[in-house]
């Protein structure tokens, strides 16, 4: 992991972050399947590592993209 990523994650831990909120999550559908998977994997990693809840907002079509990841769907 790059130094910048490590520092950012450290700051989020220091803030005792409990919730990650993302608006317009349906915009992830504009990316390729691979880009969508990278984004969803990153969200899953952050939620797990920070023990934070993930709250996303967007149009109904984005639900299918989120449901594609079993962990995030929960």
What pTM, to 2 d.p., does this model score? 0.77
Q: What is the pLDDT of residues 64-74, one digit of tens each?
A: 777 777 777 77
Please give the residue range of the domain that contains residue 36.
17-73
pLDDT band at 11 (very low <50, low <70, confident <90, very high): very high
Distance from C-alpha of 27 to C-alpha of 35, rounded to nearest angstrom: 11
pLDDT band at 25 (very low <50, low <70, confident <90, very high): confident
Distance from C-alpha of 14 to C-alpha of 38, rounded to nearest angstrom: 25
Q: Is 53 helix (H, G, I), strand (E, B) or coil?
A: strand
Task: Assess if residue 9 is contained within a domain.
Answer: no
Task: Assess if residue 54 is contained within a domain.
Answer: yes
Task: Assess if residue 35 is contained within a domain.
Answer: yes
Task: Assess if residue 2 is contained within a domain.
Answer: no
Q: What is the pLDDT of residues 34-59, one digit of tens each?
A: 998 898 888 889 999 999 998 888 88
């Amino acid at each position: 992991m790059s130094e910048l990523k490590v520092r950012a994650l450290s700051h989020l831990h220091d803030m005792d972050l409990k919730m990650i909120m993302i608006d317009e999550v349906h915009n992830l559908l504009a990316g390729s399947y691979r880009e969508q998977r990278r984004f969803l994997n990153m969200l899953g990693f952050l939620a797990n590592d920070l023990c934070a809840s993930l709250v996303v907002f967007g149009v109904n079509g984005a639900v299918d993209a989120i449901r594609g990841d079993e962990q995030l769907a929960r």
